[in-house]
Structure 1
Amino acid sequence: MNMALLVSDAMHFRVDYEINPYMRTEVQPGQAAAVVEHLSIVVAHRAAGRRIEYLPSSPECPDMVFTANAALVRGDRAVLGAPPPERKAEMPYFQDWLINHDFDVVEAPYAFSGQGDALACGDLLLAGYGQRTDRRMHAVLERELGYEVVPLRTVSPQWYDLDLAVAVIEPGRTLAYCPEAFDEPSRRRLSGLGMDLIEVDVEEASRFALNLISDGITVTMTKGAPKLAAALRAHALVVVELDTTELAKGGGGVRCTALTLDNPLPSRS
C-alpha cells in the first residue's frame, strides 16, 4: 500500500481561484518555497522505499501538484476524477498518462474528487460524499473496481475531501480520523469497522494532519500535529514530519500530492 505513487510538481502552483475554504487569491504561495516543500515530500517517499512516477505539471493547471484528485486506481484499472470546472484542464494529462502506462481508464459519470474522496483500506473503500463527490459514484466504484464501499459524509466544506478527515494507517487494523468532521451515521460506520481508531482533534485536523501517507511502516505527514505524531509513534510507526506551509495555501497536504498506483486487487476468492 502506497509504495508506488504518481506525483507532479509545484512549478506552476498558484492560487488562481477559490474552490475550498483554504484558498485565498490574495494569499499566494511562495513558488520557490512550494517547489522545495514538494521536493522534500518526494525525497521522503524515496527514503521510505516508495517508487515514484512523475508527470510534469502544465502552466495552465495551477493545482496539478495535487495528483490525488486525478483518479482512483486499483490493479490495472482507474476511475478518472471529475473535478470542479476550475480543475478540468488537468484531466486530459492524467488520462493520457494512465492510458500510456497500460491502465484501463473509466471516466466518472458524476462529480468525483478521485482518491481525495476514496481511500482504499484493503477490500474496503472509505468513500466520501457531501462536498465534492456525488454519492452515486459509490456504486460506480463498487462496480468498476470491486470495492466494498463504506459511505462517509463530511459535514462542512472545511473537510471538502475525505482525505482531510480520515487516514488509513494500516488497512484492516488502524485508522486515524476527526470525529467532528462526520455526521453521526458516518461515525457509527467507522466505529463498526472493528479497527483501532485514533481520534484527531479539529485543531490538528485543520492543519492537514490527516492528509498523510502511510505504508504501514512509515507515515509521511505535515508538521504541526504533535498529538497525532505521538499516537502514530506509539503504534511503532516511523513518522516523518514535513513543512507544507505553502502547499496548504491551496488546501492540500502530503496525501493530496500523490496518487497511489499499487492498491491491491481483491483478496477474497
Structure 2
Amino acid sequence: MSQTAQAPIEAPERTQHLRRYLMCRPEHFTVSYSINPWMEPANPTDTALAVRQWQKLYDTYIELGHTIELIDPQPGLPDMVYTANGGFLIDGVAYPPKFRYEERQGEESWFTQWFRDHGYEVRGPESMNEGEGDFLLAGDVVLAGRGFRSSDDSHRELARIFDREVISLTLVDPRFYHLDTALSVLDPVVAPGETPTIAYLPGAFDDDSRRILEERFPHAIRVSDADGSVFGLNSASDGKHVFISPRATGFEQQLRERGYTPVLIDLSELLLGGGGIKCCTLELRGAER
C-alpha cells in the first residue's frame, strides 16, 4: 500500500517595514572597566576593527532602505556605541535612561538632549532603567526585563508614561543581563491585537517568566543555548530581514524555516564590551521635525 508524502508546510511570506534607527560610531570604543561578564579589561581591544564591523552594520541598514540617525560619540564614554540602552521611544515620546553603573551615567544627558533636539517629548526617568536594552515593544505590549539592570519601578513608570501593558520578565543568567540579549521581537509592525513572532532563550529566564512567554507567545522560536551564548538573540528585524551574528547557525536555520531572511553581521569586537547588533541599534518611533 503506497503512502502519499505530505507536502512541506510553506513558511509565510514576510513583509519588510522600513525602520528608523539611532546609532553611534564606536570611535572611542575600548574595554577599560568591567560591568558585565563579557568585559575583560586585561584583554586588548581593536578600536579600528570595531569601527569597521559597526560600519558594515550601518551600511547594510542603509542598503536595505532603513534610515539611520547618528549621535556623536563622546570621549570617555566607550559604551555609547550601544545606543539601544540610550532610551525607549514610542509615538514621539522619549523615556531616557538612568544607568545602574556610574561608568555609563555620563551618557544620559547626551541621549536626552539628542531626543529633545529631534522633536521628542522627554518624559522621566525617575527610576533606574537601561532603555531598549530591557524594554522591547511587542505588538500592543512592552516586554520589560528585570533582575540585573532596570528596576521594577521603571516598569511601572513605563506603563504610566506610555499607557500600555508592561509584561515583566526576570532574567537569571548574568551573561544575559539585558532583555535584548535573550529575546528578540521579529515583527516590529503587526495589526492591532495581533501577536508578533518573538525568539527567546528559555534558560535566560526564571520559571514564571518562561510560563508567561509560553502562554503569551505560543508560536515563539526557542533558541538553543549554543546560539544564545554567541549573542544570536541580540538581533534587529524589519519584519523580513533579521540581522544576526554569523555564529548563531541554528537560529539562522530556524529563521529561514519561518520565512525570514537572515542577514549575517559580525560584531565580534563589540561583543568584547558585552554588546551586539541590537545593542548598537535604538529604534526611533515618531517625532523628528
Normalised by the length of structure 1, the TM-score is 0.95
> Secondary structure of the equivalent of 2:72?
coil
Q: Of the candidates 258, 264, 273, which is equivalent to residue 241 of structure 1?
A: 264
Identity %: 34
Which whole-Å deviations, capped at 9, do the CAs of 1:200-249 have from their partners, x for residues lacking one?
Answer: 11221111100000111111111101110111111111111111110000
Q: Are the counterparts in 2 of residues 28 and 249 from structure 1 also a CA contact under 8 Å?
A: no
Q: Match for residue 16 of structure 1?
A: 32
Give the whole-Å Cα distance in 2 for the aligned partners of 1:29 and 1:195. Answer: 41
Structure with bigger strand share is 1
- Alignment of 1:30 with 2:46, yes or no, is yes
Residue 102 of structure 1 corresponds to which residue in structure 2? 119
Evaluate the alpha carbon distance shift between residue 2 and residue 182 of structure 1 in structure 2; reply closer, same or farther with a 3 A threshold.
farther
Moved over 3 A (4+): none
Aligned to 1:200: 223
Contact 2:235–2:243 (Cα < 8 Å) also in 1: yes
Q: Which runs of 5+ in 1 are unaligned?
A: 265-269
- Confirm or deny: 8 A CA contact 1:2 1:213 kept in the other structure: no
Rounded to whole Å, the distance in 2 between the matches of 1:28 and 1:247 is 12
- Taking the aligned partners of 2:277 and 2:286, their CA distance within structure 1 comes to 18
Instruction: Report the Cα distance in structure 2 between the residues aligned to 1:33 and 1:258, rounded to whole angstroms.
Output: 18
**Residues 103/115 of structure 1: CA separation in 2 closer, same or farther (3 Å cut):** same
Structure 2: distance between partners of 1:111 and 1:2:
31
State the alpha-carbon separation in 2 of the partners of residues 82 and 194 from structure 1: 29
Provide TM-score, normalisation by structure 2: 0.88
In structure 1, the residue matched to 2:87 is 71
CA distance in 2, matches of 1:19, 1:9: 21
1:190 aligns with 213
Which residue identity does 2:81 align to in structure 1? V
- CA 144–2 in structure 1, closer or farther in 2 if over 3 Å, else same: farther
Secondary structure at the aligned position of 1:250 is classed as: coil
Give how far 1:2 is off.
Answer: 6.9
Question: 1:139-181: per-residue Cα shift (whole Å, max 9, x none)?
Answer: 1111101221111000121111000111101252311101000
Residues in 2 aligned to 1:57 and 1:207: alpha-carbon distance in whole angstroms: 26
Aligned to 1:151: 168
Which stretch of structure 1 is more off in the superposition, 217-226 or 193-202?
A: 193-202
> 2:187 aligned to 154, 158, 170, which one?
170
AA aligned to 1:66 is Y
